[in-house]
Amino acid sequence: MVALPAAPSSSRYVLPVPERLVAQRSEDVDRLAPAGNEPPFPVLEAKVTPPPARAGLVRRLDLLETMHPTRLPAVVTIVAPPGYGKTTLLSQWAEDRADPVAWLNADATDNDPAALLVHLATAIDRVQPIDPAVFDALVAPEPSPLKVRRLLVALDAMPQRMAVVIDHAEAIDNAECREVLQELARSMPGGAHLVLASRHEPPIPSARLRAEARLLEIGADQLALDTADAAMVFCEAGLQVPDEELALVVERTEGWPVGLYLAALAMRNGASAADEASLVSGTDRYLADYLRSEILDHASLTDASFLTRSSILDEMNGALCDFVLERRDSAEVLDRLEHMNRLVVPLDGRRDSYRYHHLFRDLLRADLDRREPEHVEILHRRAATWHETHGSVDLAIAHAQQAGDADGAARLVLEQLHSVWSTGRLDTILAWLRWFEQRRIAGDHPELAIQGAVIHALIGRATDAERWAEVALRAPSTGTTRDGSTIASLQAYLRALRCADGVESMRVDAIESYRGLSPASPYRVSMVYAQGVASLLAGHATQAGIVLAQAVDEALLANTPTLAAIAQTEASIAAAELEDWTKAEALAAAAHSIVSGNRFDEHWSSALVHAWSGRLALRRGDRAQAESLAECAGRLRPLLTYALPVVSLQTLLELGHVLHALGDADGAASVVRQGSEIVARRPALGFLPSRLVELQRELRGADDPSRAEVTAALTAAELRVLPLLATHLTLAEIGERCFVSRNTVKSQAIAIYRKLGVSSRSDAIARARELGLLAL
């Protein structure tokens, strides 16, 4: 019943772009699609490439020796404030190391467990190929700990032991992503290394790792430069400074590498070591003023403008800066600035991509906001256009939002929603939506608000789903979407999903929505399905079967397998209502084959497929399969809420029957309580609420002494035969299933009749169901 937008077509609308920018696109695509396995979404090459070790920088021989592979433990942390040379040390270490090094430059896009794991897998794949199936597993809808285990298994299978470096790990602040780091630190395979560079203590079990001698910690004290190191820094700046002055500089800068570099610049410009105003330490609150006076004030107006305006970019290359800054020489300027200024950092050996040192960028952004605030929005809009054109849509959305371009951001989010959802990057989507909600502008974009409601409903966040739904349904119903659907039809689609006004209103809303949706809309199949389910819940099983068969055909034609599976399941339930068990079994088997053992297994809609298939398994007497399917459905219970009440309550009912028949009274009671909570908020769900009451009565009847007496009286062999009596199987066929003779089965059946107080097979089945010993 629920569909997300289809992936955008290749002819999607983009802002007008100069011809020279289009010509550069193929070159940039190469940077987005590096060699090796193709990740499920574009990954910038600079994210997974170690920065080159720069000539002229102090080589940290003592620390490099400490990090020698022969004595390196499983986990290494390098923790210090900005400017302490964490990245420099790691790039030197990676260059010296004989074994492979997978490198991830972490940033805000890694605050999504699926994105973080795919980025890590891509980094690993760049140095040693990974089985392509690993990438598929990492975007499947399963818990992050399982995905981490898959990545660790792949790492353990590598022919060469490697190190995995995560630089700028402080950018990872999502709770689930921090758990990923914890699991990696706890479970790195023998001989492999995890190296984390961060401004803050990373979220790993440090105490346990220390106790196990599996942790090397390098902090600011070890990274601070001594007098000999300082002499090299000053020599590189073209200065020969007496030892006593060097000692004074080191003391006053506290050995802070960036502070020493800035001191060298100041002294080259005429300051003395005794001048405290020319020296800064790692904790100096006047750093911004110092950076400005020693770097920006000595730059030409042209270079200063380039520096400040390009500071809106996380990473830079010549083509990007040319477009954003409207110039043609950016590649040359970046190359020149890098050679002039150590605070311009190359990100690859070709010198194609750069970033500013974080301290320096903060200063430049502050200066841009102070001097040219009117340019900030313009620059971000240009950056959004460039990144969209070059396939880096995550960055395009970020820049559109930073520009305050809500219309552009909404368009991009809607275009990307399906593809991002399909790669498991849920937290990325939620962050995009949060931006609109925090600014209270979601109602200005009804299509986006509707998607926000549906997405929160699919992940079991009912309160959030209701909040978004209220915004979406209050929005004006005029206008159309990009594919030609009316906003009114999308609002009717949302009303049908919520079923807040009963199943007849659900049917009417589904018809209204279908009529107003574009023929290209992915929601049309959902609305055919909704009409069929509404008929089913109203007691019109024959009509429901006809409509649901149409929904199945259209879902398969539209290549929406999860929708096809749930429509087949509903059609199976309709067939069961008509006592057509052959058809019910065939449809349920087809549905289960779609979701079983692949990435749809943990999808919200698969819960009903599992639960209903479990109930049919019990009817066939296959207790083991019923238990397995009940477990699958049970894992998805947190997703079953009143936000999508129909399928949620159907699932809980079927699961309750299965658990009851399996003897799990507590589990069945818990499921019934969850169903009752849905009915309390959505009471008009056709026959479902009365079926829930019947199940409650059955559960109370489970405490009936007569049931307990019968259950105790039946032998294990008779309990095994009883569910098979409710099938179409003959006594001989039951005997084949149980590996006994027909006469043995006949004797067991007669004993069952006697203990149930009946005289026929049909009466035995009816009585067993009364006592809750049989499902259906």
Ranges of H-type helices in 254-300: 257-268, 287-294
Q: How far apart are CA 725 and CA 734, in angstroms?
A: 8
Question: Amino acid identity of 89?
Answer: L
The answer as to whether 26 is a domain residue is no
Q: How far apart are CA 94 and CA 96, in angstroms?
A: 5
Cβ atoms within 10 A of the Cβ of 361, count?
18
Cross-strand bridge partners of residue 194: 75, 164
Per-block mean pLDDT, blocks of 10 residues, the chain (776 long): 41 30 40 62 87 77 90 93 89 90 94 94 93 86 85 91 94 94 93 94 93 93 90 82 84 82 75 56 58 75 92 94 95 87 77 84 89 95 96 94 96 93 91 96 96 95 96 94 95 97 96 96 95 96 97 93 95 96 96 81 88 94 93 93 97 96 91 94 94 88 62 77 84 82 90 88 84 67
The answer as to whether 364 is a domain residue is no
Spatial contact of 663 and 774, defined as CB atoms under 8 Å apart = no
The answer as to whether 415 is a domain residue is no
The answer as to whether 476 is a domain residue is no
- Is the pTM above the cut of 0.85? no
Domain count of the fold of the chain: 4
The answer as to whether 338 is a domain residue is no
**Predicted pLDDT at 241:** 81
The DSSP code for 110 is: G
Examine the fold and report which residue of 169, 204, 223 is the final residue of a domain before the chain moves on.
223
Q: How far apart are CA 390 and CA 397, in angstroms?
A: 13
What CATH number did the domain enclosing 149 receive? 3.40.50.300
73 in the same domain as 215 = yes
The answer as to whether 36 is a domain residue is no
Give the helix/strand (H/E) hosting 631: helix 623-635
Cross-strand bridge partners of residue 345: 355
**Predicted pLDDT at 121:** 95
**Predicted pLDDT at 472:** 97
650 in the same domain as 540 = yes
Spatial contact of 413 and 452, defined as CB atoms under 8 Å apart = no
257 in the same domain as 218 = no
Sheet of 163-167, strands arranged across: 101-105, 163-167, 193-198, 75-79, 215-218
Question: Amino acid identity of 51?
Answer: P
**Predicted pLDDT at 680:** 93
Give the helix/strand (H/E) hosting 104: strand 101-105
235 in the same domain as 217 = no
**698 CB-near residues (< 8 Å, 6+ apart):** 660, 772
Burial of 700 (0-12, 13-18, 19+ CB in 10 A): exposed
As a residue count, the chain comes to 776
Q: Could you report the per-residue pLDDT of 456-496, keeping only the tens digit for each?
A: 999 999 999 999 999 999 999 999 998 999 999 999 999 99
What CATH number did the domain enclosing 549 receive? 1.25.40.10
Its domain, for residue 272, covers: 227-294
73 in the same domain as 206 = yes
Angle between the N-to-C axes of helices 487-498 and 462-474, in degrees from 0 to 180, rounded to the nearest 10: 150
Spatial contact of 426 and 461, defined as CB atoms under 8 Å apart = no
Are β-strands 163-167 and 193-198 bridged in parallel, bridged antiparallel, or unpaired?
parallel
CA distances from 762 to 280, 608, 622, 660 (A): 91, 29, 20, 21
What distance, in Å, lies between the first and last C-alpha atoms of the chain? 25
The answer as to whether 466 is a domain residue is no
**620 CB-near residues (< 8 Å, 6+ apart):** 585, 723, 724, 727
207 in the same domain as 235 = no
667 in the same domain as 577 = yes
The answer as to whether 337 is a domain residue is no
**Predicted pLDDT at 708:** 61
Tokens of 320: 């990007």
What CATH number did the domain enclosing 721 receive? 1.10.10.10
Give the closest residue to 516 by CA, choosing from 494, 487, 543, 540: 487
647 in the same domain as 748 = no
**Predicted pLDDT at 70:** 83
Spatial contact of 209 and 173, defined as CB atoms under 8 Å apart = no
The CA-based dihedral angle spanning residues 661, 666, 672, 676, taken in that order and rounded to the nearest 10 degrees: 170
The DSSP code for 480 is: B
141 in the same domain as 283 = no
Tokens of 181: 């780091």
Examine the fold and report which residue of 657, 691, 725 is the final residue of a domain before the chain moves on.
691
Examine the fold and report which residue of 239, 270, 294 is the final residue of a domain before the chain moves on.
294
764 in the same domain as 663 = no
616 in the same domain as 602 = yes
644 in the same domain as 723 = no
